[in-house]
Structure formats: C-alpha cells, structure tokens
Amino acid sequence: MSQIQVVDLTFAYEGSFDFVFEHVSFSVDSDWKLGLIGRNGKGKTTLLRLLLGEYPYSGTISASVAFGYFPYPIPEEKKGMCLWELMGELKPESEEWRVICEFGKLGLSAELMYRPFGTLSHGERTKALLALLFSGENDFLLVDEPTNHLEQESRETVKAYLKGKKGFILVSHDRDLLDECADHVLVLNRQSIEVQAGNFSSWWENKARQDHFAQMENEKHLREIASLKKAAARSSRWAEKSEGSKIGFDPVKDPGHGYKRAYIGGKTKKLEKRAKQFERRMEQEIKAKEGLLADIEEPVSLKLAGLPAPGKGDGQSAGQRGLKAYHKERLVYGQDLFLVYSGSRKGVLENFSFELRQGERVFLCGRNGSGKSTVLKAILAALGRPQADAPQVLSGQLHAGAGLVVSYVSQDASFLKGSVKGFCRERGLEESLFCAVLRQLDVDRAQFAKNMEEFSEGQKKKVLLAASLMTPAHLYIWDEPLNYIDVFSRMQLEEVLLAYQPTMLLVEHDARFRQKIATRVIRLPGGR
C-alpha cells in the first residue's frame, strides 16, 4: 500500500478564464476501491488525465505506482487487428496468459483474443479491455464509465469483476455499481473536494445530514445577524438622540448645567461603542455563515410539458376522437414482428409482439444486439418520424395511434452542433425557458455562449433531455437517456417522471432508475 498525494493542484484549460481545480489537495491509498463522484463538467475525467500527466498543471501529484486508463483509445483503422496484436501498443508490459486469466473472470472465451476487435460486440470490447487493464501488477487503474451502453447482464458481470478488484478509481454515475464496488469515495463538490470511507449510499446519507446541519446553522446565523442589525440600529438612534439632547446648553449663560453636557457626551460614546460592538459581531456572524451552503446539493424540481391522452381535448374532431377510441388505452402495439435493416434478409428481431398502454412506462431490456433500439426506431417510423437507419417491417403488424405526438431522445448526441440559440430555433423552443431548464440540470451559464460541439457528453445529453421535457407530447421515447448523466440529475429525472407520470417507452440499463420508474419491463430474446 502506498499514498497518492495531490498538493495544491491548480488547472485550467488553455484559453479558459475558469479554473477546473484551484489549490486542491487530497491523498488516497493505492489499494482503495475509490468511487469518483461529481456533477457533469466538474472535472472527473480531467482529474484522471492530470493523474496520467497528459496536461500541464501547477502543484504536485506524487505516486509510487503506475497509472493505467480505461477506455483504451483504439483508432478505427486498427479495429481490424485482434487484441493479441494490440496488446503491445496498449499495455506493452502485459503478458498474454494474464489477460486470458482475466478473460475467464469476465466470462469471455480466450478465442476472442484472436478475433478482429471491430467484430466484437460493445459488451465484449468493454470486458476485453478491462481484462487487459487489470492484467498488470502494482498499477493504480483509472476506470472511466465502464458500463456506458452495456446491457444489464454485462453490467452485472462488470460489477462482479470490479467488486473482486482493488487499487482503482471508478468514475460512474451508476449508483448500484458505486455501492457494490467502492469502499471509499472521492467527491468533487461544488466548491470543495472530500475523501470519505464508504460507498455512494453511505456518503449520500452523510451528506444529507451535513446539508441539513448546514441549513440549520445558516438559518441560526441569519436570525442572529438580523437581531444584531436591529440592535445596532437601535443603539445608533439612541446615540444620535443623546448627542442631540446637548443642544441648548450654554456653559457661559448656564454654568450650573455644564456637567450635563459631559454626562450626555459620555453616554453617547457608550452607545456608539455598543453599536460598533454589534457591527463587529455581525461581521463575525457573516464570516461564520460564509461557505455553509457552498456544497449543498438541492436538485431543482423539473417540469414536464405533457399532453392529455389522445381524444381528450387535443383539438381533434369528434370523428377523429371516435377513430382514436381504440387507441385510447393501447397507444402502440406490434404482433409477430419481423424487423430487418435495409439490404439484409437476416432478422434483427423475429416473432416479437408487444403493446404500450396509456400511462405505462415500459422499459425494453435485453442483451446488446437484441434489438431494443431497433424497436424504438420502428415505432418512430410508424409514427411518421423515421430515423436515418430505420428498420423495415418484413412481416407482422405494427400500429400506432393516430395523432400521437412523440418526444424522442436518441442514444447518440454527437450530432449536436452550433449554438443553443440555433438549436432552440430549430426545435421551436423558447430560448430563455430552455436555458432555465438547463440551469436546473446544473449546466453552467458559461456553456450557453459556446457551440454545442464543445459540450461534454453529459451536457449534450442534458440538451436532448431538456428539449424533451419542454416538448408537449403524448408519448416519450427515450433511448439510453442516462449515458454520461450525473447521479444528481438522474435523481431529478426520477422525481419529475414520478410526479407527472407520462406514457413512456425507454431503453435504459440503470437498474435503480428502472426500479423506480418502470411500470412494466419487456425482455427481448437474442443478442450477444
């Protein structure tokens, strides 16, 4: 066991006036299983990059261990190579037999070592690279969001694997993963950094108590400051009144009353001194109050602009409403679906039947490649919202209620480009309200002046989610909406969905989110 020490770390990106870290100090042990927690944009990945020595900084980072980072960057042109060939570039000191041993712990076959990397599924790639990462000795490993895009079965495998390891920093917004795999947490608060023993849930409980205490202390200080202000003002008035009472005494014409002027002057000085004492105490109380609420997490309640059920006051004629009566409860349904992509006769999904009823929040679950996103794209096409890579219904029936208005959040946010203003104009969103929703999701105002291609992955996803929340719709279709979204924003989304209870069809692998939100889960067969 050794110490990794960070002392007086200060860092800002070139051209930025804002520090990501300013005079930060902390230390961790190299055998800890450390969960790294913080909101989007707080610098989690930046901290990992600083530990790797990729950016210049001021301060010191000292460690007697080597750092390894996941995910390994593999350029597109090298995805035709197998992992056995890539090992020499990615982790030269690793030995083949050690990687194969780690493969076994992750439920992978050794033959995957010798298959072209690009032919592996997303889950297989993630597990293969984790096996390579943990195949060394005496490393302190930096694991950055290993479960993004992984289905539940692969997540459980990765969770069990990391639970049996030590000596790593794990960046994740998955509360179950952090609870199972971390024995310490490093938290990037709003204004400070703290290291604490325990997992996410124990830290969150402690934080709730600390925040409550800070709020009570803040209220106490505010009451004391208000009382001192009143007392200081009262003493100042009395001093002015006392000083004014000297007027009219002439020591020449009325020598017998001279002592009164001295008495009144002394009294005035005492009152002025008392007022000054109140002011000094006020300053002390204000100073004691400073910073009390700096790190408090109070997620703002979001709102959702849903529409009434089709046929209920949606501006349709009586005939149209009558036609929709059949779909009033069953908004979308499919029977014996055989879905394929253009140019292929091989089915992505075969003999699949399902239905979505008004008021349900249905989650599609299954392995990677089982067709979860394919179902969503097929439904969007049936609703007149075809995507560029929409599948074809080769056989079977797929019906969606007429007149359904849909709000869609895609899995991929990389298409976002240009200004926030332009995005709002394109989507028909009121800009000031849209920016207010982003602020509620803790996107800094400084981001609004940037082009969206400069946003972090989490901030881009928040743009899509904010737009969806503001879009009046009968049905919300969200495809892996929580990838890269910080844990505090996940809690906000849980709160708004439970409060408004919209009709939803989702693909999402966050187990805790699904447990709280889902009214029904549909499991798809197949995949790998």
Contact indicator for 125, 369 with CB cutoff of 8 Å: no
Round to the nearest angstrom and report the end-to-end CA distance of the chain: 39
* Interatomic CA distance for residues 42 and 190, integer angstroms: 8
pLDDT tens by residue, 356-389: 999 999 999 988 778 888 899 999 998 888 877 7
Neighbours of 280 (CB within 10 A): 12
**β partners of residue 7:** 60
More reliable by pLDDT, 306 or 60: 60
* Alpha carbon distance 103, 513 (integer Å): 29
Give me 323's structure tokens.
């036609």
Q: Which two tokens stand for residue 210?
A: 């600390």
pLDDT band at 14 (very low <50, low <70, confident <90, very high): confident
Please tell me the distance from the alpha carbon of residue 501 to that of residue 503, in angstroms, as a whole number: 7
CA distance 329 to 414: 35
Residues 465, 441 contacting (CB under 8 angstroms): yes
SS3 per residue for 459-524: HHHHHHHHHHHHCCCCEEEEECCCCCCCHHHHHHHHHHHHHHCCEEEEECCCHHHHHHHCCEEEEC
Task: Pick the closest to residue 441 from 467, 480, 408, 478 (CA basis).
Answer: 467
162 contacts 199 by C-beta, under 8 angstroms: no
The alpha carbon of residue 453 and the mean position of all alpha carbons in its chain are separated, in whole angstroms, by: 18
Is the per-residue pLDDT at 228 higher than 80?
Answer: no
In SS3 terms, 318-341 reads as HHHHHHHHHHCCEEEEEEEEEEEC
Higher pLDDT, residue 314 or 295:
295
In total, the chain counts a number of residues equal to 528
β-partners of residue 504 are: 361, 476
Dig out the tokens for 486 from the structure: 């910080």
Query: What pLDDT is recorded for position 243?
Result: 58
Tens digit of pLDDT for each residue in 313-357? 554 444 444 444 444 688 999 999 888 887 666 667 888 999 999
Rounded CA-CA distance 363/382 in Å is 19
Per-residue CA distances from 268 to 233, 248, 275, 278 (Å):
14, 16, 11, 15
pTM to 2 decimals?
0.76
CA angle, 94 then 97 then 99, to 5°: 60
Segment 96-135, tens digit of pLDDT: 999 999 999 999 999 999 999 988 888 889 999 999 999 9
Mean pLDDT of 91-96: 90
Task: Give me the pLDDT at residue 317, please.
Answer: 44
pLDDT given at position 291 = 62
- Contact between 341 and 392 under an 8 Å Cβ cutoff? The reply is yes
Burial status of residue 17 (CB atoms within 10 A of its CB: 0-12, 13-18, 19 or more): exposed
SS3 49: helix
